[in-house]
């Protein structure tokens, strides 16, 4: 009995703080933006986290900027946020986010049930001829 109780006490925090991946996707070797896409439609109100990463897979003569546009509805109503992902030269590698850090964008938010969580990726400025990128995302339910 003592061993069983010890195991339960040790494992309880593991299950209490487990997040669940509810959606993930990848868009390799893209040359244009991505239209508004539903990531997930929650079946219950909850706390969610989206992580998005983009990388240049083929360069052009100039840098480029893209906007990762996230949409959701919380207690206050419809919300949206744009994360600027860009390159500033003709180099391969990860986009730089709004804060000049490599590694993509991460956002935690509350979402209401029955209303889709969406994203799109839009070109900012003129399109560089011949450039390609790949986009990866994961959406987790935290509670």
Report all structural domains of the chain as residue ranges with CATH numbers, in order of start.
19-141 (2.60.120.1310)
Q: Distance (Å, rounded) from C-alpha 143 to C-alpha 81?
A: 21
Residue 119, burial from CB neighbour count under 10 angstroms (0-12, 13-18, 19+)? buried
Q: Kindly tell me if the per-residue pLDDT of 40 is higher than 70.
A: yes
Confidence of residue 136 (pLDDT cuts 50, 70, 90): very high
Q: Kindly tell me if the per-residue pLDDT of 36 is higher than 60.
A: yes
Helices first, then strands: H and E counts in the chain: 1, 9
Do β-strands 34-40 and 105-111 pair in parallel, antiparallel, or remain unpaired?
A: unpaired
Q: Kindly tell me if the per-residue pLDDT of 129 is higher than 80.
A: no
Separation in Å, CA 95 to CA 1, 41, 85: 54, 28, 5
For 53-72, write each residue's pLDDT tens digit: 888 787 765 666 777 889 99
Q: Distance (Å, rounded) from C-alpha 22 to C-alpha 37?
A: 15
Percent above pLDDT 70 for the chain: 66
């Amino acid at each position: 009995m003592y061993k069983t109780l010890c195991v339960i006490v040790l494992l309880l925090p593991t299950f209490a703080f487990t997040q669940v991946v509810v959606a993930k996707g990848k868009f390799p070797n893209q040359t244009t933006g991505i239209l508004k896409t539903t990531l997930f439609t929650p079946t219950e109100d909850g706390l969610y986290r989206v992580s998005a990463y983009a990388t240049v897979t083929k360069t052009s003569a100039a840098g480029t900027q893209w906007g990762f546009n996230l949409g959701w509805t919380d207690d206050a109503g419809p919300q949206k946020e744009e994360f600027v992902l860009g390159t500033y030269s003709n180099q391969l590698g990860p986009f730089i986010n709004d804060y000049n850090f490599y590694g993509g964008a991460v956002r935690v938010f509350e979402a209401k049930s029955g209303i889709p969580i969406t994203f799109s990726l839009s070109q900012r400025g003129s399109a560089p001829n011949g450039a390609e990128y790949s986009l990866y995302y994961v959406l987790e339910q935290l509670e």
